Chains A and B, each alone.
Chain A
Amino acid sequence: MLARESLRPTSQVAEDLREIARGLLETGDVDVFIGYEEGSLPLRTTPAFVTRADDVSRLVWGHACENNLAVYLPKFEGKVGVVLKGCDARTLVNLIVEKQVRRDRVKIVGVPCGGVIDRRKLAARLAAAAGGGRTARAASETEDGVILARGDGFEATVPVEEVLSPSCTTCTHPVPVVYDFLAGDERWARQVCPKEQAYDDVDAFMGRGADERFTHFSKEIERCIECFACRQACPLCYCPECFVDRETPRWVGRWRDLSDRMVFHLGRALHTAGRCVDCGACRRACPAGIDLRLLTRRMERDALEFFGYESGADLEAVPLLATYRRDDPDDFIL
Chain B
Amino acid sequence: MVAFLCNWCSYAGADLAGTSRIQYPPNVRIVRVPCSGRVDPLLILKCLQQGADGVLVSGCHPGDCHYMAGNYLARRKFALLADLLDFFGIEKGRVQFSWVSAAEGEKFADVVKRVTESVRTLGRPTRLVKERQR
Q: Which residues of A line the B interface, CB within 8 A? A: 205-206, 210-217, 243, 249, 251, 253, 257-260, 262-263, 266-267, 269-270, 273-274, 295, 298-299, 302-303, 306-307, 320-324, 326, 328-330, 332-334
Which residues of B sit under 8 angstroms from A249, Cβ to Cβ? 46
Are A210 and B91 in contact, CB atoms less than 8 angstroms apart? yes
Q: In this complex, what residue of A is CB-closest to B81?
A: A270
A-chain residues with CB within 8 Å of residue B31 when the two chains form the complex: none
Q: How far is the CA of A302 from the CA of B87 in the complex (A)?
A: 11
Cβ contacts A to B, 14 pairs, < 8 Å: A213-B89, A217-B88, A243-B42, A267-B42, A270-B80, A299-B80, A302-B80, A324-B75, A328-B75, A328-B76, A329-B75, A329-B79, A333-B99, A334-B97
Asked if B18 is at the interface (CB within 8 A of a chain A CB), the reply is no
Asked if A332 contacts B87 (CB within 8 A), the reply is no
Residues of chain B contacted by A263 (CB below 8 angstroms): 42, 45-46, 49, 128
Please give me the residue from chain A that is nearest to B126 by CB atom. Answer: A214
Of chain B, the residue at the smallest CB distance from A324 is B72
Task: Return chain B residues, CB-CB under 8 Å to A211.
Answer: 89
- Which 5 A/B pairs are nearest by Cβ-Cβ distance? A214-B89, A324-B72, A334-B98, A213-B89, A333-B97
* A209, closest chain B residue (CB): B89
**Which B residues are in CB contact (< 8 Å) with A210?**
86, 89-92
For the complex, what is the distance from the CA of A253 to the CA of B84, rounded to whole Å? 21
Using A295-B88, A302-B79, A322-B73 as known contacts, list a sample of 4 further A-B pairs with CB atoms less than 8 Å apart, ordered by residue number in A. A205-B87, A267-B42, A298-B84, A333-B97
A214 and B88 contact, CB distance less than 8 A: yes
Within the complex, what minimum Cβ distance (angstroms) separates A204 from chain B? 12
Complex CA distance for A205 and B88, rounded to whole angstroms: 10
CA distance in complex: A276, B119 (Å) = 33
